[in-house]
Amino acid sequence: MKRRVPHSKTSSKFSRPIGLDSKTWGNLAPILEALQQAQHQIGRFRFYDYLAAVYRTYQEWKDLGISKRMTRHLAVHFEIPRRKGTSPVRTLIDATFPALDPKQKSRWSRALEFAALTRTTPNDLPKLFKNHSGIAGCARFAAREKPKRDVYRNDWLDEQPVKRLARGIV
């Protein structure tokens, strides 16, 4: 188990992992505070502030041109497995809310990718969710607008059927 170093600027419930610089931790602190507030609330809209905090941090890093570098840095310190094509938004969600269901993580990250595609500001994120049938609707639009993989498969159709002479099957 990793040792933790308490950080004085945030609440005492959060501790910075050893090796993680204070600037990166300062970017994560608002996300963790929003997550803590969301976990104490009740209702289906309770995680909107958390998602807005994640999206705000992602936008700041994207504007500075350091989003990929910072997410690699987070992945190393929080021991998050890196896969090809993993979004920086997904890495932020993995680092700040590791107990979340993988399907939910995927849905949230796709919804925030859709927000980035539409160039929505973090303050207008709840409005975007409302206009597109919630988080799942935004994730659906993101999957339609920018699919992760090519869904067209031409290898299922053979030009001519293969003859199997041994059994007499055409």
Query: In 105-126, which positions are buried (b, 16+ CB within 10 angstroms) versus exposed (e)?
Result: bbbbbbbbbbbbeeebebeebe
Residue 120: the pLDDT is 92
Question: pLDDT of 98-123, one tens digit each?
Answer: 889 999 999 999 999 999 999 999 99
Q: Label residue 2 by pLDDT band (50, 70, 90).
A: very low
26 vs 54, more confident: 54
Question: pLDDT of 86-101, one tens digit each?
Answer: 889 999 999 899 889 9
CA–CA distance, 19 with 136 (Å, rounded to integer): 36
CA–CA distance, 61 with 70 (Å, rounded to integer): 8
CA–CA distance, 25 with 19 (Å, rounded to integer): 10
Q: Label residue 4 by pLDDT band (50, 70, 90).
A: very low
**Token pair 């929080």: residue:** 78
- In-domain check, residue 37: yes
- In-domain check, residue 42: yes
36 and 49 Cβ atoms separated by less than 8 Å:
no
Number of domains in the chain: 1
Q: Label residue 23 by pLDDT band (50, 70, 90).
A: confident
What the block records as the tokens of 14 is 């959060």
135 and 51 Cβ atoms separated by less than 8 Å:
yes
- In-domain check, residue 86: yes
Asked if pLDDT for residue 156 goes beyond 70, the answer is no
- In-domain check, residue 54: yes
Of residues 54, 57, 38, the one with CA closest to residue 46 = 38
If one counts every other C-beta atom within 10 angstroms of the C-beta of residue 65, the result is 8
Mean predicted confidence (pLDDT) in 64-68: 90
Q: Between vectors from CA 70 to CA 137 and to CA 63, what angle results, nearest 5°?
A: 65
Q: Label residue 146 by pLDDT band (50, 70, 90).
A: confident
- In-domain check, residue 169: no
16 vs 11, more confident: 16
- In-domain check, residue 165: no
- In-domain check, residue 104: yes
Residue 140: the pLDDT is 92
- In-domain check, residue 161: no
Residue 5: the pLDDT is 44
Domain that holds residue 71: 4-145
